[in-house]
Amino acid sequence: MTAMTLHRWRALLVALAVSASAIAAPAPPFQPMFDQARQHYALPGLAMAVVEDGQVVYQHTAGERRIGTGEAIDENTLFKIASNSKAMTAALLARLVDRGALRWDDPVIRYLPQFRMHDPWVTEHMQVRDLLIHNSGLGLGAGDLMLWPEPNAFTRQDIIAGLAHLKPVTSFRSGYAYDNLMYVVAGEVAARAGGKPYDQLLREEVFVPLGMQRCQVGAWSVAAVGNVAQPHARRDGRTVVTQPDADTSPDLASMAAGGIRCSLRDMTRWMQVLLDPAQVPGWLSDAQRRALWTAHMPMPIGARQRQWDNAHFAAYGYGWRLSDLDGQWKVAHTGTLSGMYSSLALLPDRRVGVVLLINGDAEDARTALMQAALRHYTAPDDSKGVLDYARLLRDEQQQRRDSGHVRPDTRARTPASLQGTAAWQGRYRDPWLGPARVCPHNGQLRFQLEKSPQLQGTVMQLGARWLVQWDTLGADAEPWLQPQPGTPPTLALRAIDPDIDFSYDYQDLQFTRIGDCP
């Protein structure tokens, strides 16, 4: 056999081997998952990426930034990542700890002397680390109405001042209750320790060194940056844009807790660096990386987590939820804002990460798609897919309805009588949410919160009860309006929907009448 003939045989054998390998290799599972989630839940837009061993093994986007415009979502489209911002705030603080600018066990009042909790002892003993792990003793989502709905006129100084008026529901450090306000405080601690505004520090310490080029924080021009996904909601059976951006995105008071926007490419880069320190050597010390993913506060394990994940532990780290999934370590977080959902999950021991960004009402879609994607790694022999998890979620919801856990039917409402409500019309004030009015306007009784333009609506009557029909928010956010006897008169708000988002913390409000309508 000549050398030329031998070379041809070798080339043929190599080609056959490559062809056989390609035939035998299983098709990537993520595209069918992506398509099923988007179609089943009629999502306006979806972006997804998967990282393995530092490499992007899957990345796909579909849908529109604003439904009906044809403006396609791509890997550079900006989404609100909501509470996935918390991990970035924690990383910023970790960088400052590495630098010696602060310590995790420093008292908060060392950096913010004006900081006050309802209990003076808690004020004195609250440490920087406590701001990140949801152990303040406040109730679930306490004070969130100073953050959302956006935009509003509350400042970070207003939020810090309002904390003193929020009464705890448990003792300090005794249990877990998710809280956003403490992350706002954490952002201000970072600014004081770092000597620069939070948004500038985050760009310098996180976005720039990690190459997250499209992420936005602070005030920025939506028009100039461009390619920005808008939030969507279901209204009367249709998907519509809700709370769209103006030309400029303001310097949101909530940014350290949930106000950052990033693209799929940015979030993919974020995952790569978190999973592999060699991607950006020296960005965080090993000690601070461990601190972020240490179980600092135990969390309850829900029935779904036990059944779906076979979970044995759950805890909160610094900006991350920690748990086990089929016996494998999971580090994850979700992000939820009106019309925007995100999810990021890491399996550090496998060097795997998955991120989802959605610009619509998509809690179930996010849950089903992420579960199917992760269990491709942790339980490859399990045949459940996106549609199977969707059915399980529907079954859960039906069980809640069967048990009577449903929103009351309020469709028979009518505008409240001005004459019948005359005794409690006037100007009111809540200690932390501020001034409000319950006053006639154009023949109707209107509820208006001074610092939150979206918390405005018409007072309606249903039998012997009153409720507020918001002008721009959906029915799922409506509260009962309950006049309280006494002098001066007071008003309370209570959620109508038992499954209302916990950020509508109406139960913490108590409006006291301070004067007549203007």
Question: Looking at the structure, do residues 101 and 232 belong to the same domain, yes or no?
Answer: yes
Length of the chain: 518
Helix, strand or coil, per DSSP, at residue 410:
coil
User: Whole-model pTM?
Assistant: 0.92
- Check pLDDT > 60 for residue 16: no
Residue 28 binned pLDDT confidence (cut-offs 50, 70, 90): low
Residue 15 binned pLDDT confidence (cut-offs 50, 70, 90): very low
Using a CB cutoff of 8 Å and minimum separation of 24, what contacts does 107-111 make? Answer: 108/185, 108/189, 111/188, 111/189, 111/192, 111/193
Average pLDDT (7-35) is 55
Question: Looking at the structure, do residues 356 and 444 belong to the same domain, yes or no?
Answer: no
Question: Looking at the structure, do residues 88 and 154 belong to the same domain, yes or no?
Answer: yes
- Check pLDDT > 70 for residue 191: yes
Average pLDDT (121-143) is 98
Question: Looking at the structure, do residues 190 and 84 belong to the same domain, yes or no?
Answer: yes
Residue 21 binned pLDDT confidence (cut-offs 50, 70, 90): very low
Structural domains in the chain (count): 2
107 lies in some domain:
yes
3 lies in some domain:
no
**Angle between the 30-40 and 386-402 helix axes, to the nearest 10 degrees?**
40
Give the domain extent around 423: 414-515
Question: Looking at the structure, do residues 391 and 424 belong to the same domain, yes or no?
Answer: no
CA atoms within 13 A on the CB side of 465: 17
Measure the CA–CA gap between 172 and 4, rounded to whole angstroms.
80
Report angle CA 81, 85, 88 to the nearest 5 degrees: 135
Q: Are 459 and 466 in contact (CB under 8 A)?
A: yes
401 lies in some domain:
no
Measure the CA–CA gap between 463 and 465, rounded to whole angstroms.
6
- Check pLDDT > 80 for residue 22: no
Question: Looking at the structure, do residues 368 and 440 belong to the same domain, yes or no?
Answer: no
Give residue-wise pLDDT tens across range 277-331: 999 999 999 999 999 999 999 999 999 999 999 999 999 999 999 999 999 999 9
Who wins on pLDDT, 196 or 22? 196
Q: Are 439 and 517 in contact (CB under 8 A)?
A: yes
- % of residues, the chain, pLDDT over 90: 89
Pick from 417, 424, 434: which is nearest to 161 by CA? 434
Question: Looking at the structure, do residues 342 and 463 belong to the same domain, yes or no?
Answer: no
- DSSP letter (8 states) at residue 411: T
Neighbour-count burial for 290-319, b at 16+ CB within 10 Å, e otherwise: ebbbeebbebeeeeebeebbebeebbbbbb
Measure the CA–CA gap between 329 and 348, rounded to whole angstroms.
7
Question: Looking at the structure, do residues 391 and 423 belong to the same domain, yes or no?
Answer: no
CATH number at residue 452: 2.40.128.600
Measure the CA–CA gap between 475 and 467, rounded to whole angstroms.
11
Question: Looking at the structure, do residues 255 and 216 belong to the same domain, yes or no?
Answer: yes
What is the helix, strand, coil percentage profile of the chain, to 5? Answer: 35, 25, 40
200 lies in some domain:
yes
CATH number at residue 322: 3.40.710.10
Question: Looking at the structure, do residues 149 and 222 belong to the same domain, yes or no?
Answer: yes
Give residue-wise pLDDT tens across range 155-173: 999 999 999 999 999 999 9
| The pLDDT value given to residue 474 | 86
